[in-house]
Amino acid sequence: MLHLDSPAEGVWKDGDVERDRIVIVEVMTDDLDRSFWSRYREELEGRFRQYELVIRASEIERL
């Protein structure tokens, strides 16, 4: 699922202002395979030539 406001723009200031377009993707699963996501993050960092790509996990409770 892509969020409706993506792609978004990120702005960082470390001396010079840098702008970057970001895309947020949400994946929901019953089982979290941490080793898969770690490897996939590294693959995506290489593919998109990124210094760091963030993959995060949040636990939810279904109501």
Q: Read off the pLDDT of residues 14-28 as tens digits, 9 standing for 90 and up.
A: 777 777 777 788 888
Residue 47 reports pLDDT greater than 90: yes
The reported pLDDT for the residue numbered 5 is: 60
Residue, of 10 and 31, whose pLDDT is higher: 31
Query: 0.85 exceeded by the pTM?
Result: no
Top-confidence residue, 50 or 39: 39
Tell which residue, 29, 3, 20, has the closest CA to residue 40.
29
SS3 34: helix
pLDDT at 33: 96
Rounded to whole angstroms, how far apart are CA atoms 25 and 23?
A: 7
